[in-house]
């Protein structure tokens, strides 16, 4: 589809928080996302699962605007993320547009990437002060509240090297939330953790899902966790959504042969 055929904005009555519209991503001749269409509604929690190499991480990286797009348009709350309007049509977004749009998206990675020379509290305050322009006092209040929520308030003055992996990941979640994103992305947030601390991170995410009206997209290998907290499971296979359904339906009665095979293999 030509870019001129895409709406400059989505109409108010058809405006999911995230819309992938005919999105194609390739590296050379390797097609990683193949004409992907995916809507995520406001307040919805979607888990993306699938075999290695099926394009799951690429979906997140496109939302983080870490990757260029080869075809299609991504909309955030009805506004194009990957593109911007020029003379009545969409053109590829420039850096300033991406930076503006990125403000509504928070992310947590497998490797938490906390600033090593800052305490837990300073890590959380940095973005709100530097990027959002909050006063230090405001940023501190906000950060302390979030550190409380993730159960890390008594470690607020520790540097990351003094914290366990699970604790670092909880600080990373608080840090992302301190920017008040409308969408949170989680990329395998538990896979670099020791088994005994996975529970504390999944508990924090579970609480987030229950208490906040955030839209969330999570890539995970933990089927039990995905089943527990998601509104919807999307199973990716070779850059396409092979099957998607509510967790109960998806795990107890998968319709597609490939889904059944995958679920047998990960059991």
Give the binding site for ligand ADP (CB under 6 A). Answer: 27, 30, 32, 50, 52-58
Q: Which of 25/142 has CB closer to ligand ADP?
A: 25
87-94's contacts with Cβ under 8 Å and 24+ in sequence apart are 88/8, 89/3, 89/4, 89/8, 90/3, 90/4, 90/6, 90/8, 91/3, 92/68, 93/65
Q: Which of 52/253 has CB closer to ligand ADP?
A: 52
Q: Which of 15/238 has CB closer to ligand ADP?
A: 238
Q: Which of 17/32 has CB closer to ligand ADP?
A: 32
Q: Which of 54/122 has CB closer to ligand ADP?
A: 54
| Residue 160 C-beta: closest distance to ligand ADP, Å | 25
| Residue 171 C-beta: closest distance to ligand ADP, Å | 24
Q: Which of 177/226 has CB closer to ligand ADP?
A: 226
Q: Which of 50/247 has CB closer to ligand ADP?
A: 50
| Residue 220 C-beta: closest distance to ligand ADP, Å | 11
| Residue 259 C-beta: closest distance to ligand ADP, Å | 15
- The 10 Å Cβ neighbour count of residue 89 is 13
| Residue 110 C-beta: closest distance to ligand ADP, Å | 11
| Residue 27 C-beta: closest distance to ligand ADP, Å | 3
Which residue matches tokens 């929520």?
149
Where on the phi/psi map is residue 78: left (φ > 0), alpha (ψ -120 to 50), or beta? Answer: left
8 Å CB contact between 89 and 3: yes
| Residue 186 C-beta: closest distance to ligand ADP, Å | 13
């Amino acid at each position: 589809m030509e870019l001129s055929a895409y709406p400059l904005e989505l109409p108010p009555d058809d405006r999911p928080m995230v819309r992938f519209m005919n999105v194609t991503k390739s590296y050379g001749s390797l097609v990683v996302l193949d004409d992907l269409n995916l809507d995520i509604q406001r307040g919805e929690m979607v888990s993306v699962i699938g075999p290695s190499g099926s394009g799951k991480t690429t979906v997140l990286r496109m939302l983080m605007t870490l990757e260029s797009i080869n075809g299609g348009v991504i909309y955030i709350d009805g506004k194009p993320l990957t593109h911007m309007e020029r003379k009545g049509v969409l053109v590829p977004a420039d850096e300033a547009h991406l930076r503006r749009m990125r403000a509504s998206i928070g992310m947590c990675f497998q490797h938490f990437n906390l600033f090593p020379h800052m305490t837990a509290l300073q890590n959380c305050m940095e973005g709100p002060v530097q990027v959002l322009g909050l006063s230090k006092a405001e940023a501190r209040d906000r950060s302390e509240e979030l550190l409380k929520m993730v159960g890390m308030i008594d470690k607020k003055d520790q540097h990351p090297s003094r914290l366990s992996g699970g604790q670092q990941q909880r600080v990373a979640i608080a840090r992302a939330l301190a920017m008040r994103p409308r969408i949170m992305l989680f990329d395998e947030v538990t896979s670099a953790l020791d088994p005994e601390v996975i529970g504390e991170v999944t508990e924090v995410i579970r609480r987030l899902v229950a208490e906040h009206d955030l839209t969330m997209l999570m890539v995970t290998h933990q089927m039990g966790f995905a089943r527990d907290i998601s509104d919807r499971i999307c199973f990716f296979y070779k850059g396409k959504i092979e099957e998607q359904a509510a967790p109960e339906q998806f795990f107890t009665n998968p319709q597609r042969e490939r889904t059944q095979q995958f679920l047998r293999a990960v059991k």
